[in-house]
Structure 1
């Protein structure tokens, strides 16, 4: 067994020490929250040029982070079922 084969076997091991390995579905709240965070970043770059008040990107960022947390909490609860 070559060095790369040993490394691949070590990386792919499943000995139960990890919390969660693999992909999980993303819920709609998490998706919308991520879009709000992206919109907040865009608005924060444009607020000087578009004469937007700084409250708009701040509010979008707060809403986005809150939705991400709510979506993650809801997705974790759904996984236990």
Structure 2
């Protein structure tokens, strides 16, 4: 279920949608690694920090740890990255 009326998604929902599109993303951890490769987030201690580049895909206005809601456009960005 989307995070809010704007359709923002939790990471598990992003994984499910990518799987429906035929991408082999097996878990949220695998998604985190893809987002790290894309420069959208970075690993910091035991958390994931959204980079300045990644902020545009979140509901937040600045960098945050462990963002819990992502705009649906991130799926298109991931699809473009994965080819």
TM-score range, shorter chain: under 0.3
TM-score between both structures, scaled by the size of structure 2: 0.23
Higher percent of residues as strand? 2
Structure number with the bigger relative contact order (C-alpha 8 A, sep ≥ 6) is 1
TM-score between both structures, scaled by the size of structure 1: 0.23
Higher percent of residues as helix? 1
